[in-house]
Each structure stands twice: as C-alpha cells, then as structure tokens.
Amino acid sequence: MKRLKGIGVSSGIVIGKAHLFKKDGLVAVRRSIKKDEVGLEISLLNQAKEKTRDDIYKIRGRILEEFGKGFADIFTVHLALLDDPLLLPKVKKRIEEDRVNASFAFSEAVKDAISNLIFSNNKQAVRMIDILHDISEKMLHCLEEQESFTLSEIKEKVVLVVKNLTPSETVQLSKEKVAGIVCSLGGQTSHAAILAQALRIPAVLGVHDAEDTISSGDTIILDGISGTVIINPTPKDRQFFEEKIKRVEKDTKKRASLLHLPSETTDGHKIKLCANIELPEEARLVKEEMVEGIGLFRTEFMFIKRDGMPEEDEQEEVYSMVARKSHPHPVTIRTLDLGGDKLKFVLGQEEENPFLGLRAIRFCLKYKNIFKTQLRAILRASSKGRIRVMFPMVSSQEELTNGLVLLSEAKEELKREGIPFDEEMEVGIMIETPSAAFTTDLLAPLVDFFSIGTNDLIQYTMAIDRVNPELAYLYQPLHPAILRLIKVIVDVAHKNEIWVGMCGEMASDPLYATLLLGFGLDEFSLTWGAIHKIKEVIRTVSYKEAKRLAERALLLDSAQKVEALLKKNFPTELREMIKK
Ligand code: PEP
Ligand code: MG
C-alpha cells in the first residue's frame, strides 16, 4: 500500500484498476537545412497548422454542443494562438534565417512564449501555458508524422495515470472508459481540471510521483475531494473509502434536501447566498443549485483568449445569456480585472510588480475604450435581466468617480442611440485594498453596494503575494487586522444604507461562516462546492449567537486564538465539515 497526495480538482471517489499512459514527449531535434529546403519546411509548417486547426475546430464544435460556449472558448484560444502574429510568423522567420527544420523552429518559438509566462503566477498564465503545450504537441505530432494521444488501447474502465493532460486530450476521455484521472502535473486552475469537472470524472492532479509509483493493473483508490490516491490499498483502507463513498452519497442526498430550504438562521435572520463564476456556462447552475444569483462574474476569461479585445456585441451576448440563465436572480458583473501581467502573455512585457501594478480599474481607466466597450455591453445586457456592475481594486474616491463618469457617458451614448438599458442598474465596488477599506465612508455614498474581496484584501493588508507558497503562513483571514477591516466595512456600509457582501474565498469556508454572519454581511458569494455547507451552518446557528461570537473574536489578539474560538463554537453536529 502506498498513499500519494495531490490536488483534488474534480470530486468523487472511485476504486479501480490503474492504466499507466506514457506519453512519448516528442522532442524536436535540430536539423540544418539547405536554402532550397526552406520552402518545403514552411509548407510542412503550414500543413501542420491546417491539420491542427481542423482538429481543434472539430473538438470545439463537439464541446460547444455538449457543454456550451464557456467550455468551447478554451479551444477558441487555441485557434486564436495558431493565428497569433507572434507565433507562426516567428517560426517562419527562424526557418528562413537560421535554416532549421520546421519542428525545431516551432518548438523553440513555443519555448520562448512559455518562458515569458512561466514566472507569472496567475491563473491565466498557467492556462495559456497549458494551451501552448497542447498546440505544440499537436503540431509536433503532425510535423514528425507520429500518431497523437489515443485511448483506443483501453478496453475496460480504468483509472488513467498520466503525466499531464492537455485540454484536447482531456476532452477525449469518456466516463465509460475512464473512472478517474491521476496526473503528476497540473492543478486547480488548469484546463484539465475545468474539463474533468465538466465531464464529471473524478480527478487528482499534481501527484508528483504518480507515474513512477503506479503501474498498470495496480488497484487505485482515488479521492477527488481530498486529493488522495492510494495504491494497492489494505482491506482497512478499502473499507474506509467504501464507507466514505456511502457518506458522500448521503451528503449528496442531504444537499438535495437542503436545496429548497432558505438560508436562514434559527432565529429567522435571512442571508443571501450567491455564487462566483468564471465561465459564462456556469450560470446554468444558478437554477440547479438554487442560489440567489451570481455575486461575482469574473469577466477576464473572455478577454485573454486572443490578441484583440472582444467586441461589444460579443460581450453583450455573453452577459445577456448569463442574465437570462440566472433570471429572476441578479448577476454581478465585475469589470475587467486584467493586469499588466495578464495581458501581455506572448509579448512577455511584464511589470516588475504586477499585483501592485496597472491592474483592474487602474488598467480600465488607462485604456478607456476597452472599459467603455465593456460598460456599454453590460448596460445593453441590463435590459435583458437583472444585472449589477462592480468595479474591482478601487483604491481611491477619485478612481471610483472616474469610473462612474465613464459609466454615465456610456449611458448617455446608449440613450442617444436609442438602445435600452436598465436605468436603475446597481453599481458597486469591491473592497479589496486597505485604502478603500479605510475610506468606505467616502466611497459608500457613491455606490449601491460593497463586495469584500478577501483574496486581495488579505494580500494587500498583510503585504504578501497571495500566490507565493513561502508566505502561505501569513495568509491569515482571521488576523485581527482583517477582522477589524471587515467589521468597519460592514458597519460603514450599513450606516450609509447600502448592502455589503463578500465574494472572496473566506466566505466559502464553513469555519468562518458564523463569524461573518455575526459581522452582519448581507450576501455571501461562494464557490459552488461551498454553498450547501455554508447554508447548513447558517441554518444551524442563531443570529444572536453569531453576533456575540463576532464581538468575542474582535477582542482576541491573534488569528490562532480566533481560530480556536471558532472551532470550539462550531456546531457539533457539523464538525465533519471542518476536518481538514
Ligand atoms: C478577491 O480578491 O477576493 C476576489 C474575489 O477577486 P479575485 O480573486 O478575482 O482577485
Ligand atoms: Mg480580487
């Protein structure tokens, strides 16, 4: 028996036989060519591009049909990259100038593009690398005339063990053949993770030793919830996981029974539970999961897929679709949160300090046309459903005012053009910088709501890069500084008669739910997996107790002491939820 740990990215527990899939890892060997061979290499490159494009096009079509535009858009990025003026033209130049074979020139260009992204820790860069690898593998297989990834050799249902899966490989998997996926690379935000969830195949990624430790035929227990992989389990392990499978089934039933119940404390205090989404397609879950709307729609995904920006009509279509799917509940569209690091992927011109750089509203106020296009699209969609708009990373009143001026201009333009929009559309801001948190009294009179973005608020308050693992110990949602800030934000919002929600990850942790409730938050916007848990906690506690707990927490001098207090007061019957 051996136990490996990775990142559970697609939930579900399976017990099955391993199938180790060794990818050949094509390496393009440098070959010098003569002048008269240049034309041939370039035509091979063009043929490979056409073949790759056809393949991706087919995959995209299938995904569009089965899972919708949000997922299909992953492959739109592939298509856009194939036409990127910085990719193939660069390869041609290299073939001509360095007189090297097409496959070598291509793999070098991809390496360059990846090296420009590799130190960027953000999700979009990781995803772009994923897509570059995918295109690279497809192109190299064509150029080297080798057969690409296929699972035709698999005859029975297996747990697939493989180094990594590109997006186009992941979508080839079917639930009939693949019970679960174990990859040694990849993580929560990779396309393989997103697509495995869509395909509903349990998956654990980032299991470092998987390929060296697992052999085909081994019995595997894969727990996509905790990220555990057990090889050749003992009868005791097997029994443990069989029981866990039963518990998960029970949990699923419980979840279903909670769906129709209100998120209300035992003493009748109601709280709105909404969801965070990144892909427009996720909006369909609003009805399935019975949430009260979308508290955060991150719109960056549609902006990173190409060189140019999406047109107003295209954006309007997406926002309207999300609003329609969420109806009658509201959708909170966050305006672009792109940063210098996120935009210039392939160009590789990064800012020294992207998290402190030209990000979010700062970027939008510099590139007003991009911002205006998005605002017009949001306004146009507001006539098709309930839409709210929200500006991220506001750090001064002036910035907010400038954003509001552009919004008014967009409204005036639409009026002149006779295009309808919701005149009453709510406008809010994310509170995610200490400067905004300390000046909520200056900001509140200008908006309809606040949404606390704890992911950034913690990063900027604690002065730590939120994705730096070395500093994870300082990422403390319960730090007295954070708790005091949340308290001030909520109190000032209410004093100014506006509502306040939280869409940062902190809201999705059941351990913190009673405390946040006690602070007086009006809306929690959560990751999908957290909704039923937070609802259950809310339905188990009283608002009166929650307020008392929040008062006590504010008197403590360390995150550790607050955590101990929350654990001690966590509803006994729900303790299973906070076992990490
Ligand atoms: C946040 O900062 O808490 C937030 C929700 O925004 P993002 O994670 O997209 O920066
Ligand atoms: Mg943020």
CA of 453 to the centre of ligand 1 (A): 5
Ligand 1 interacting residues, C-beta cut-off 6 A:
296, 298, 337, 432, 453-456, 503-504
Element (H, E) at 377: helix 368-381
Q: Which residues contact 74 (CB under 8 A, 6 or more apart)?
A: 63, 131, 167, 191, 194, 195
The pLDDT value given to residue 117: 74
Amino acid at position 264, single letter: E
Element (H, E) at 77: helix 69-82
Which residue's alpha carbon is at the smallest distance from atom 7 of ligand 1?
A: 455
Residue 183 is a catalytic residue:
no
Atom of ligand 1 nearest to the CA of 506: 3
Which residue's alpha carbon is at the smallest distance from atom 6 of ligand 1?
A: 453
CA of 455 to the centre of ligand 1 (A): 5
pTM over 0.85: no
The pLDDT value given to residue 345: 43
Can you say whether residue 33 is alpha, beta or left, with left for phi > 0 and alpha for psi between -120 and 50 degrees?
A: beta
* Domains of the chain as residue ranges with CATH: 2-23+150-242 (3.50.30.10), 35-143 (1.10.274.10), 259-268+430-580 (3.20.20.60), 293-425 (3.20.20.60)
CA of 508 to the centre of ligand 2 (A): 15
Which residue's alpha carbon is at the smallest distance from atom 3 of ligand 1?
A: 453
Catalytic residue among 19, 78, 141, 191: 191
pLDDT in tens, 65-106: 777 777 888 888 888 888 887 788 889 999 999 999 999 999
The pLDDT value given to residue 14: 94
The pLDDT value given to residue 482: 98
CA of 431 to the centre of ligand 2 (A): 9
Mutate to test the pocket of ligand 1, among 432, 433, 466 (most ligand atoms within 8 A of CB): 432
Element (H, E) at 97: helix 88-98
The pLDDT value given to residue 477: 95
- The rounded distance, in Å, linking the Cα atoms of 414 and 371 is 15
Q: What is 172-188 written as a DSSP string?
A: T--TTTEEEEEESS--T
CB atoms < 10 A from the CB of 469, how many?
A: 9
- The rounded distance, in Å, linking the Cα atoms of 14 and 10 is 12
The bound ligand whose nearest atom lies closest to the alpha carbon of 506 is 1
Residue 503 is a catalytic residue:
yes
Q: What are phi and psi of 334, to 5 degrees?
A: -85, 130
CA of 37 to the centre of ligand 1 (A): 52
CA of 429 to the centre of ligand 2 (A): 11
The pLDDT value given to residue 347: 37
Atom of ligand 1 nearest to the CA of 503: 5
Atom of ligand 1 nearest to the CA of 454: 3
Mutate to test the pocket of ligand 1, among 332, 503, 524, 525 (most ligand atoms within 8 A of CB): 503
CB 465 within 8 A of CB 542: no
Which residue's alpha carbon is at the smallest distance from atom 9 of ligand 1?
A: 298
Which residue's alpha carbon is at the smallest distance from atom 1 of ligand 1?
A: 453
Q: What are phi and psi of 4, to 5 degrees?
A: -115, 155
What b/e sequence results for 546-578 when a residue is b if at least 16 CB atoms lie within 10 Å of its CB, and e otherwise? bbebbeebbebeebeebbebbeebbbeebeebb
Which segments of the chain have a pLDDT < 50? Answer: 340-341, 344-348
